[in-house]
Amino acid sequence: MQTIAGKFVPVMITPFDLKAGIDFDAVTSLVNFYLQAGVKGIFANCLSSEMFSISEAERLQLTKHIVDYVNGRVPVVATGSFGLTIEDKADFTKRIYDTGIDAVILITGHYAKVDEDNEVLLQNFEKMFNLTGSIPLGMYECPAPYKRIIEADVFKKLLESDRLVYHKDTSITHENVKAKLDILKQVPNRLEFYDAHTPNAMFSLQNGAIGMSSISGNFYPEVLVWMVENANNPDRQEDVKWLQEELTAVDPMIHIAYPMSAKYFLQKRGLPVRTISRAYALHLTPGQKQEVDALYNKFLSWCERLGIVPIGA
């Protein structure tokens, strides 16, 4: 086992104001929070950002605001595969790339319908590649509109295009993840592989993933940064295994009422993020708040054991 520090890339939430408009001042505070945590990139305009609940103009405006504030300190990527046709998706990809992001991420479920086979998906990706020139592209196995997992053989064919620089994996099972990571070691490529499933962190990082990009980073990014930096550190394996067990145990809870749960958690951490969401209409119940409160206390105990100073403490 070699000491190789990985990268954590948060999937940004979108703070809203009292009228449910984007609160750009809070966006700036949130970006600063991520950067202070030590993240190595930012994924703007993603499912956590409520990208399906904001307008096309807002997607571009939000992404440009993040790019401008980050100002090259870390790479920024954003989803670009919006529109009815492949031509529409290519057009929006060009426009969001013009905001200054480092790569445009394509939702795999946008390139074949749920009942269409992988040949259709490959044909549509090839068409997308041809329509977008040399723009660096990535893939995102987004749960919406439906989760299209890229199988290992399809992954290999897409890698051979040499257009992909980023992959956000949501396939969950160790078997699927390892099959793709093994291909990465065999095929010359420039792709960075990020696992979105927090319970996979130790496994994926120890099998060759460059990093993690999970929703848990909208609760405690410092902890995920510690994990990616230490997963392959032979001197910290006891703590790595312990932390993985802790993160896995709480993972089901953070998915409940997400992203509202994350916004409530960030409020507890002192961020100016309101519990307002366009994607989740209900308020957190008293029981859900109690669960998040308990998670907050767990987070503080993790920091104490690992020697992490929580941001703002």
Write the pLDDT tens digit of every residue in 245-254.
Answer: 999 999 999 9
Q: For 37-88, what is each residue's pLDDT tens digit? A: 999 999 999 999 999 999 999 999 999 999 999 999 999 999 999 999 999 9
**For 276-295, what is the mean pLDDT?**
92
Pairing between β-strand 164-169 and β-strand 192-195 as defined by DSSP bridges: parallel
Say yes or no to pLDDT of 3 above 70: no
- Cis amide bond preceding 259, omega within 30: yes
Q: Could you give the percent of the chain with pLDDT greater than 70?
A: 98
**For 182-206, what is the mean pLDDT?**
96
Q: Phi first, then psi: what are they for 164, rounded to 5°?
A: -100, 130
The candidate with the shortest Cα–Cα distance to 124, out of 90, 81, 86, is: 86
**For 151-176, what is the mean pLDDT?**
96
The candidate with the shortest Cα–Cα distance to 51, out of 87, 17, 88, 14, is: 14
Question: What is the residue-averaged pLDDT of the chain?
Answer: 95
pLDDT band of residue 224 (cuts 50, 70, 90) is very high
| 37 class by beta-carbon count within 10 Å (0-12 exposed, 13-18 middle, 19+ buried) | buried
> What is the number of other CB atoms lying within 10 angstroms of the CB of residue 141?
19
**For 165-175, what is the mean pLDDT?**
97
Say yes or no to pLDDT of 313 above 80: no
pLDDT band of residue 1 (cuts 50, 70, 90) is very low
Over its C-alpha atoms, the chain yields an Rg (Å, rounded) of 19
What is the per-residue pLDDT for 134? 96
Say yes or no to pLDDT of 211 above 50: yes
CATH class of the 7-234 domain in this structure: alpha beta
pLDDT band of residue 114 (cuts 50, 70, 90) is very high
**For 194-223, what is the mean pLDDT?**
97
Between CA 85 and CA 261 the distance in angstroms is 35
Between CA 127 and CA 300 the distance in angstroms is 49
Between CA 12 and CA 18 the distance in angstroms is 19
**For 142-165, what is the mean pLDDT?**
95
Q: For 261-279, what is each residue's pLDDT tens digit? A: 999 999 999 999 999 999 8
What is the per-residue pLDDT for 129? 98
Say yes or no to pLDDT of 4 above 90: no
